[in-house]
Structure 1
Amino acid sequence: MPGVEGRVALVTGASQGIGRACALVLASAGAKVVLCARNQEKLQEVAAEIGSKGGEAEALKMDVANEEEIKAGVKAILARFGKIDILVNNAGVTRDQLVLRMKRSDWDEVINTNLTGPFLLTQAVMGAMLKQRWGRIINITSIFGQIGQAGQANYASSKAGLIGLTMAVAREVSSRNITVNAVAPGWIETAMTTTLPEELKEKMRNSVPLGRTGTDLDVANAVKFLASEEAGYITGEVLKVNGGILMG
């Protein structure tokens, strides 16, 4: 089976941004996509968009910081489709503050959503992937999990932890033809960055060797490749999608 055609993909944080782009790209390549996020209305809009283009998608409300919602959601997907081939752990939050002023609640919320959520989802889908002896898990980390970022001790820690989780799980399940990889975006143009001052955005662009900020599709296309049959000999990898800011 080439590419991702006929596969069932679960994408978290699929209501907007990179998650939405991943869902659209996977669906356009022939995957059946289950869209997960906390906002049901936005999920329905993305599902309708995919359907209008001839793809197949279902919206499933899920808070990845809630273990019971994860278990119930995965159970429902398996009941509906009989399998989960691809897991894209994309959902994430930020609660930025200097470490001296950061509240414990802000630390916990980011870690619970960005790191514990992917861990729990990986656990939840693993049984089905092991049984079918095929799977693709792709974790969306960040360049800040590799180089750090002032004011984001919680976020950078969660994304660095996600890289460690990626490599550990990759070693555990590789013998069953399950690959586990991460994608680490750099400066990506999103709804959040469009509100930044133009001076700051220009400074961002100037820091990128390729001379531009990335797009959500730049990330989604990398995810599609790692999810494909053609990427079957790649595991434990952190694919940098950052325009050359961080090399090596």
Structure 2
Amino acid sequence: MAATFTVAARLPLRGPARAPSRPAVAAVTRLRSRQERRGLAATGGRGPARVRAETFSGGGGVGRRDPMAPPYNVLITGSTKGIGYALARKFLEAGDNVIICSRSAQKVESVVGDLKEEYGEQHGTVCDVRNGKDVKALVEFARDKLKHIDIWINNAGSNAYTYKPLVETSDEALMEIITTNTLGLMICCREAINMMRNQPRGGHIFNLDGAGSDGRPTPRFAAYGATKRSVVHLTKSLQAELQMNEVNNVMVHNLSPGMVTTDLLMSGATTKQAKIFINILAEPPDVVADYLVPNVREIPTKQSMKPTYIRFLTGLKAYSRIFSRLAFGARRNKYVTED
């Protein structure tokens, strides 16, 4: 998108008045344009600069954002179970519109039917995030049903339901984990950005991280931890790319649910250490969603375009729970019976 600014270039003159050279005018114009763009981004789209949203072949440019106001249109990948499903329900409770998607047509049909009974007409489609054509089709489905997407949450992920040392992990499991968690995330981010930068309201993308994202080791699921560690780096890189390409109407954020008692996590509760940490640190999907969704919705409500890292399980909360367990035996056998 190209940006048009009304800028008056004024240069201090010494001696006889002379018209400034064209290169000098261009330099000052570029400088002031950059300053105004930074001011525009910092104020959430408000300011004296006038911005015209247009597309151009280079793929960059500034987008003028119409103010965002609820209800929001939300798309959540992997939203037929676990934390994705809990997030979808919480957004619906807030009055928003949600696109449900999953690899399984049966699960999509079942979830859409259940949600329809409680919240009215719903929209869902099959999408394998590892397939670029599928994700492009997901974008077209979203445009057809809701016209635009305000909030895109990249939740789809996989551990191939395996908790083994890397040396015992099959090629098939490694490909499942890496293509879903890394390739799929990249494809979804690419298509979400391409969609949102051409929307009058712009949009916000939230990438869910997980175990390993903080750099700590993840024995028995090293591949999964490695892919989740890469989520933070990818998000930061995309934030820099958007700024570099002068796209001010789209922002990418990190969303950290912490340890959630999903099938994926509970299937790994096979050791004493795993059971202890699940009991101490984990929470059910609905509890996590109750915290995350209001914080996600607050960002467009405030017209903020600053990168945000929303964490459910903060370091302080984790250490407090560990201390309570060591000192008072808190949360013993809360979710699984410890040996």
Fold conserved between structures, TM > 0.5: yes
DSSP-derived class of the 1:9 partner:
strand
Length-normalised TM-score, structure 1: 0.84
Deviation digits for residues 108-142 of structure 1, max 9, x if unmatched?
22111012112111111222211125211111111
* Contact 2:249–2:305 (CA under 8 A) maintained in structure 1: no
Residue 326 of structure 2 corresponds to which residue in structure 1? none
Length-normalised TM-score, structure 2: 0.63
Deviation digits for residues 85-117 of structure 1, max 9, x if unmatched?
211111111133312233333222211101211
Counterpart among 275, 291, 296 of residue 226 in structure 1: 296
**Structure 2: any 5+ residue segments left out of the alignment?**
1-65, 321-339
DSSP-derived class of the 2:166 partner:
coil
**1:45-84 → structure 2 map (5 Å cutoff):** 45-84=110-149
Deviation digits for residues 58-109 of structure 1, max 9, x if unmatched?
1101111122211122122223322122111111111333122333332222
DSSP-derived class of the 2:220 partner:
coil
The structure-2 alpha-carbon separation of the partners of 1:246 and 1:120, relative to structure 1 and needing over 3 Å to count, comes to: farther
Which has the higher mean CA deviation after the structures are superposed, 147-156 or 235-244? 235-244
The structure-2 alpha-carbon separation of the partners of 1:171 and 1:230, relative to structure 1 and needing over 3 Å to count, comes to: farther
* Contact 2:68–2:303 (CA under 8 A) maintained in structure 1: no
Identity level (%):
23
Residue 260 of structure 2 corresponds to which residue in structure 1? 188
Residue 101 of structure 1 corresponds to which residue in structure 2? 168
Residue 15 of structure 1 corresponds to which residue in structure 2? 80
Q: Which has the higher strand share?
A: 1
- Are positions 1:165 and 2:247 aligned together? no
**Structure 1: any 5+ residue segments left out of the alignment?**
none
Amino acid at match of 2:211: I
Distance in 2 between residues matched to 1:105 and 1:217, nearest whole Å: 32
Is the radius of gyration larger for structure 1 or structure 2? 2
Distance in 2 between residues matched to 1:145 and 1:28, nearest whole Å: 30
- CA-atom RMSD, angstroms? 2.8
**1:138-153 → structure 2 map (5 Å cutoff):** 138-146=206-214, 147-153=216-222
Query: Relative contact order, CA 8 A, sep 6+: which one is greater?
Result: 1
DSSP-derived class of the 1:144 partner:
coil
Counterpart among 250, 261, 266 of residue 178 in structure 1: 250
Amino acid at match of 1:241: F
Distance in 1 between residues matched to 2:85 and 2:293, nearest whole Å: 12
